[in-house]
A and B are shown apart, each in its own frame.
Chain A
Amino acid sequence: MREVVVLGVGMHKFGRFPDETFEELTYPAISHALEDSGVPFKDIEVAFCGVVNSGLYDSRNVIQQFGWTGIPIHSMAQASGSSAAAFRVAYWTVASGLYDTALIVGYEKMARGFIPGTVMPGRSHLDVMGLDPIPARVALEMRKRLELYEEPIEAHAAYAVQSSENAALNPYAHYPVKRTAEEVLNSVVISDPLRLLMCCPTSDGAAAAIITSKEKAKQYGASRAITVAGWACGSPQAEDLFGGPGAFIGGDFKGGNLTRRMAGELYEKAGVGPKDIDVALVHDPFTMAAMVDIEALGFCPEGEGGRWILEGKTRVDGEIPINTDGGLLCKGHPMGPTGVSQVAEVVKQLRGEASNQVPNKPKVGLTHSSGAGMINMLVLKR
């Protein structure tokens, strides 16, 4: 496999844009990524879209608004990890030498309210019996953490505050609004002990990236290229399920077993360890997920995630800065583009161009995406 670099990234603000079409949502993301990379659209040899709720022709319209170049266009749906999966497959095609230059774009328009926890809402007995809401499933795991680790609820508030402060500096964030711990702890109960401001919003938005081989990058101004130094992906094994309730569990929030296993693979491939990571973008649809993630990624001991966050170790100037763009929690979580938006933030951080820059010139970044209980991770290097 040959070396692959990210040459350009672009975003459409996350938020609510009921009147925008998919073409309108993706236009700024893709055009900024093209401009950022210096790659003309005619040089894109293959395109991958990440989207969950899409129509028959959307992926074609989204790409072909820039030209009918006849390239293969793919669309991947993997819930919250759709564009992270699309990025990884695009990476495979370039790393293997099948293509030189690929475009990845995630986009989505979402309804307000809970994301249903089953495949066909209203058709499964779990739906009818009230057992599908994801926030309720998360609340079960949150209660276990609070009891087992004696994790203070204030840690969840501290994480939400930290994320809001990061989002306030991100022009693409859905909620660029600073919160206080009191606001978080007094926000409406969604599913006791989980409160509204401990949950991400559903959003609309788009994010794009352009990758190419290290060799080919020389044509386009490779000085700003960021190297893909490692990748890992996988679905749960039987042991990851904790004995059940089986595939009805979506995310990896039940202890982070899959993330822990994937992180081992990722660090080995990239030749780094958790202490080498200067900035990490982790899957945090709920405050609790950030704690599970930083433990499973090896940044802190199991059960210490909440206390680490309370001590400020995950802040932009902390020991391991996470979700410097506000994370899913405050930047927003449109599912389709979420994974590529993480790549975009890490690329900006490693170039020193982030709106909420990690100090001391970060060299190594990590992205961690979870979708439908499957993981996609990357190590990116300057």
Chain B
Amino acid sequence: MAGNAQRKSLEPTVFRVDDAVEKDTLVGSHCAKCDRNYFPPRQWCAACFEPGCEEIELSREGTLSSFALVERKQEYCLVEAPYAFGEVRLPEGMLVYTTLNITSEVAANGQIRVYSTIDQDNFNVFKTGQRARLAPLVIKRADDGADIVAYSFDIVEGA
């Protein structure tokens, strides 16, 4: 891990962080009665109305179903614009809205990634159908010094 800062999830109900970055996970839910899966997690199944959906850990890889470039950010947004906005379909069946990153460099231990700034020029690297992998982003620093982490996805090069 980079540094010793404590890591906290921006929204633990949908994204859980672990001591090891590669174990961070999106949280979904599963209805045991009708076998449907949800993200974000639900207590009651939307389709068969059964209470008691179980929490599940979702796959860390999915397929890019669409993408868009956001040129301007809203004032409360902590991601700098322009940024890539995507929709990733996970093997569990659901679509997840996410920011997308282009990795320009990965350090030897695989845990320190350097991202390219996304703009009109390199935006064309995105293609629907590409594989996308969960890649948590530090989105801000809390008052107590902890890193506040949000989910995001990297495009898996060459996939």
8 Å CB interface, B65-120 against A: 65-71, 73-79, 81, 83, 85-87, 89, 93-99, 120
8 Å CB interface, A210-249 against B: 237-239, 241-246, 248
By beta carbon, the residue of chain A nearest B151 is: A129
**Is A125 in contact with B150, judged by CB distance below 8 angstroms?**
yes
**Is B38 in contact with A244, judged by CB distance below 8 angstroms?**
yes
* A127 in contact with B77 given A147-B128, A243-B95 (CB within 8 Å): yes
**Is B97 in contact with A245, judged by CB distance below 8 angstroms?**
yes
> What is the CA–CA distance of A141 and B45 in the complex, to the nearest angstrom?
26
B14 at the interface (CB under 8 A from A): yes
A153 at the interface (CB under 8 A from B): no
Chain A residues closer than 8 Å to B98, beta-carbon distance: 131
**Is A122 in contact with B69, judged by CB distance below 8 angstroms?**
no
B7 at the interface (CB under 8 A from A): no
For this complex, 17 residue pairs linking A to B, each with C-beta atoms less than 8 Å apart, are A122-B74, A127-B77, A129-B78, A129-B139, A132-B74, A136-B85, A139-B69, A143-B67, A191-B69, A192-B120, A238-B45, A238-B46, A243-B93, A245-B39, A245-B96, A246-B40, A248-B97
Interface core residue of B10, B71, B74 (most chain A CB under 10 Å): B74
**Is B39 in contact with A136, judged by CB distance below 8 angstroms?**
no
By beta carbon, the residue of chain A nearest B152 is: A129
> What is the CA–CA distance of A166 and B43 in the complex, to the nearest angstrom?
48
Chain B residues closer than 8 Å to A121, beta-carbon distance: 74, 76
8 Å CB interface, A112-129 against B: 114, 116, 121-122, 125-129
By beta carbon, the residue of chain A nearest B9 is: A125
Chain B residues closer than 8 Å to A130, beta-carbon distance: 70, 73-74, 77-79, 81, 83, 85, 99
**Is B123 in contact with A192, judged by CB distance below 8 angstroms?**
yes
> What is the CA–CA distance of A21 and B95 in the complex, to the nearest angstrom?
43
**Is A128 in contact with B70, judged by CB distance below 8 angstroms?**
no
By a beta-carbon cutoff of 8 Å, the part of chain B in contact with chain A is 10-11, 14, 36-40, 42, 45-47, 65-71, 73-79, 81, 83, 85-87, 89, 93-99, 120, 123, 128, 139, 150-152
> What is the CA–CA distance of A220 and B14 in the complex, to the nearest angstrom?
58
A194 at the interface (CB under 8 A from B): yes
A237-B47, A244-B94 given; 4 more Cβ-contact pairs under 8 Å: A122-B75, A130-B81, A133-B85, A137-B85
Q: How far is the CB of A304 from chain B (nearest CB, A)?
A: 20
**Is B40 in contact with A143, judged by CB distance below 8 angstroms?**
no
**Is B68 in contact with A143, judged by CB distance below 8 angstroms?**
yes
Contact of A127 among B74, B86, B96 (CB under 8 A): B74
* A122 in contact with B40 given A129-B10, A243-B94 (CB within 8 Å): no
Interface core residue of B10, B37, B68, B151 (most chain A CB under 10 Å): B68
**Is B76 in contact with A122, judged by CB distance below 8 angstroms?**
yes
**Is B96 in contact with A238, judged by CB distance below 8 angstroms?**
no
Chain B residues closer than 8 Å to A133, beta-carbon distance: 70, 74, 85
